[in-house]
Structure 1
Amino acid sequence: MNQRSVTGKVIIVTGAGQGLGEAIANTLGAAGAIVCACDIKEDHVKNVAHAIKDAGGAAYSYVLDVRSEDDVRQTVDNIMAEHGRIDVLINNAGTDVTLSIEDISVADWNRVLDVNLRGPFLLSKAVYPLLKHRGKGHIVNITSTAAKRVWTEATAYHASKWGLLGFSHALHAEGRRDNIKVTAVVAGGMRTPFIMERFPDTDPNVLQDPKNVAETVHFVLTQPDETVIPEVMVLPMRETSWP
Structure 2
Amino acid sequence: MAELNGKVALVTGGGRGLGEAICRNLAGAGAVVLAGDVRDDLVEQVVGSIRGNGGRAESLRLDVTDEEGASDAIERIVGRHGRLDVLVNNAGIDLTVSVDQLSVADWDRILAVNLRGPFLMSKLALAKMRGQGGGQIVNIVSTAAKRAWANASAYHASKWGLLGLSHALHVEARPLKIKVTAVVAGGMRTPFLLDRFPDLDPGVLQDPANVAETVRFVLSQPDETVIPEVLVLPMRESSWP
Same fold (TM over 0.5): yes
> After superposition, where does 1:1-243 map in structure 2 within 5 Å?
3-243=1-241
Whole-angstrom distance in 2 between the partners of 1:242 and 1:106: 29
- TM (normalized to structure 1)? 0.98
Letter in 1 for 2:64: V
- What's the CA shift string for 1:152-200, capped at 9, x where partnerless? 0110000000000000000000011111000000000000000000001
Q: Which runs of 5+ in 2 are unaligned?
A: none
Following superposition, the deviation at residue 127 of structure 1 comes to 0.7
Whole-angstrom distance in 2 between the partners of 1:134 and 1:49: 27
Q: What number of residue pairs does the alignment pair up? A: 241
Letter in 2 for 1:188: G
Following superposition, the deviation at residue 241 of structure 1 comes to 3.0
Classify the secondary structure of the residue corresponding to 2:141: strand
Q: Which runs of 5+ in 1 are unaligned?
A: none
- What's the CA shift string for 1:78-107, capped at 9, x where partnerless? 111111110000000000001111000011
Whole-angstrom distance in 2 between the partners of 1:80 and 1:149: 38
Whole-angstrom distance in 1 between the partners of 2:72 and 2:151: 35
Whole-angstrom distance in 2 between the partners of 1:46 and 1:150: 35
Whole-angstrom distance in 2 between the partners of 1:70 and 1:50: 27
Letter in 2 for 1:204: P
CA RMSD across the alignment: 0.6
Following superposition, the deviation at residue 240 of structure 1 comes to 2.3
Following superposition, the deviation at residue 5 of structure 1 comes to 1.0
Identity %: 62
8 Å Cα contact 2:24/2:50 also seen in 1: yes
Provide runs of 4+ in structure 1 moved above 4 Å: none
- TM (normalized to structure 2)? 0.99
Whole-angstrom distance in 1 between the partners of 2:97 and 2:238: 23
Whole-angstrom distance in 2 between the partners of 1:21 and 1:223: 21
Following superposition, the deviation at residue 133 of structure 1 comes to 1.0
